[in-house]
Structure 1
Amino acid sequence: MEIVVTGRHTQVKPRFRDVVENKMNRVTAIAPDAQRAQVVLSHEGNPRQADTAKRVEITIIAGRTVVRAEASSADEFSALDLAMDKLTLRLRRTRDRRKDHRRGYTNPVPVDMGVVEPAVEEEAPEEEPNNSPAAAVASDLGPGESVEVQVGDTPIVIRRKLHIAEPMSIDEALYEMELIGHDFFLFVNKETGRPSVVYHRHGWSYGVFEIDTPENVKSAE
């Protein structure tokens, strides 16, 4: 497995590199198909944040699978230990999930929170200034392109980006959410065609939101 260690606003000491390489044995033991490990060490210069001054981000790439974990602490070695604990837990969940699928087990069904209908505005403004929120979504974007618009004289900046993704099932969305370590995951449900979000509730319980328009809901009835 290729191991790449880089520093952001800090210098990576040889001892830290050696410790990283030794700890990566835990990764290969759980995920022998891992091809690349990228470790980024960053430093926060604000003295008020001394307890979390060092941040370690670890990204493991195994084929098309990407698993991430990060943690902060007063020193880089403690941050590395915390990040490794999170990473190995996610790797084990991924490994166990694959075993369960091969055995034919099914995962708990997420809680369906129903259809969320967007609010309907009675009147739309006749004209929108160029620095309005509507300007952030006024133009077409290509895959991977993004646009940022500042709202008036406020410090608020709206950023829009187009991400191309294949529709997936709820079970696949839960799997992707666990891999990247987020509390929610946005996807297109391949069974309904609706934009949807899965999210953590508590323990191994999950929820799912689906969004649709009133017109589509009525036509489906």
Structure 2
Amino acid sequence: MDTNIIGVGVGISDRFRSVVEEKAARIENLAPRAQRLDVKVTHRVYRNGRVEDETVELTLIGKGPVVRAEASDPDKFAALDIAVDKLAEQLRRAKGKRVDARNHPRGARFDKGGGAISGLDVQPASVDTIQRVATGTISVVESAEEEQEYTPVVIRTKQFDPEWMTVEEAVDRMELVGHDFFLFIDARTDHPSVVYRRKGWDYGVISLTTAAPPTEELAS
């Protein structure tokens, strides 16, 4: 497995590269079909320079879905350890789900008439949640300490090509990237949708009523 390391605002020492190679061997044992591990280290400064940290992003590329993990810490070696642990846990959970799927085949079914999903622990979002998302009224509660001083809002934007898949496949992809939600196009309805993690192993799904445009239109 190849390893690619880049630093943004921070130098990459030979010692750090050596530690990454050791961690990569551990990951390769869990994902023998992986072809490349991308490691991105970013130095970030917050609150007018008074707080700094190193963010380590891991991207595992191979046959199958891409697996990602991210962690931040003032020490980039500690951030690397946390990110590797997250990635390893995601790989173990994905392997466990594959074994469980072989032993207990899952048969998610979608009722087009009633809009209900059976055979999968996914619950539609409530009407209140959908309305709050649509109107932008969901609020973020900040601690009193954070409210005492001004902190600029940093919005990180990412763009991805649309992917058509089932809700079940979207849940699996969400688990692999280690996020609390996953955006996709529902293959059954052509509606842009989001699955998200609820309590325990329960999941929710939010869908837009407007169908996604055809692939030819997206390409143009």
TM over 0.5: yes
Q: CA deviation at 1:77?
A: 0.8
Paired residues of 1:117 and 1:212 also in contact (CA < 8 A): no
Contact 2:121-2:201 at 8 Å conserved across structures: no
CA distance change for structure 1 residues 55 and 161 in 2, over 3 Å: closer, same or farther?
closer
Shift of 1:114: 6.3
Tell me the equivalent position of 1:149. none
Separation (CA, whole Å) in 2 of partners of 1:188 and 1:64:
18
Moved more, 40-49 or 176-185: 40-49
TM-score, length of structure 1 as denominator length: 0.70
- 1:208: which partner in 2? 205
* 2:37 counterpart residue number: 37
Are 1:79 and 2:79 counterparts?
yes
Give how far 1:3 is off: 0.7
Contact 1:37 1:61 in 2 (8 A): yes
- Give the letter for the 1:165 counterpart: P
1:49-64 matches, within 5 Å, as 49-50=51-52, 53-64=53-64
Offset of residue 91 of structure 1: 0.9
* Stretch of structure 1 that moved more, 160-169 or 82-91: 160-169
Percent of aligned pairs with the same amino acid? 43
The total of aligned residue pairs comes to 176
Structure 1: gaps spanning 5 or more residues: 119-159, 214-221
CA–CA distance in 1 between the matches of 2:11 and 2:169?
39
2:121 to 109, 112, 136: 109
Which of the pair has more CA radius of gyration?
A: 1
Gaps of 5+ in 2: 107-118, 133-156, 211-220
AA in 2 matched with 1:38: D
Cα distance change on mapping 1:100 and 1:212 into 2, 3 Å = same
Query: What letter matches 1:3 in structure 2?
Result: T
Asked whether the equivalents of residues 36 and 62 of structure 1 are also in contact (C-alpha less than 8 Å), the reply is yes
1:132-170 deviation line (CA, Å, top 9, x unaligned): xxxxxxxxxxxxxxxxxxxxxxxxxxxx99854342111
Once the 2 structures are TM-superposed, how far is the Cα of residue 6 of structure 1 from its aligned partner?
Answer: 1.3
Q: Assess, with a 3 A threshold, how the Cα gap between structure 1 residues 162 and 180 changes in structure 2: closer, same or farther.
A: closer
Q: 1:162 to 1:11 in 2, by over 3 A?
A: closer
Distance in 2, Cα, partners of 1:164 & 1:23: 30
Taking only aligned residues, the RMSD between alpha carbons, in angstroms, comes to: 3.0
- After superposition, what is the alpha-carbon deviation per residue over 1:91-121, rounded to whole angstroms, capped at 9, x for unaligned? 1112112222222343742012367589xxx
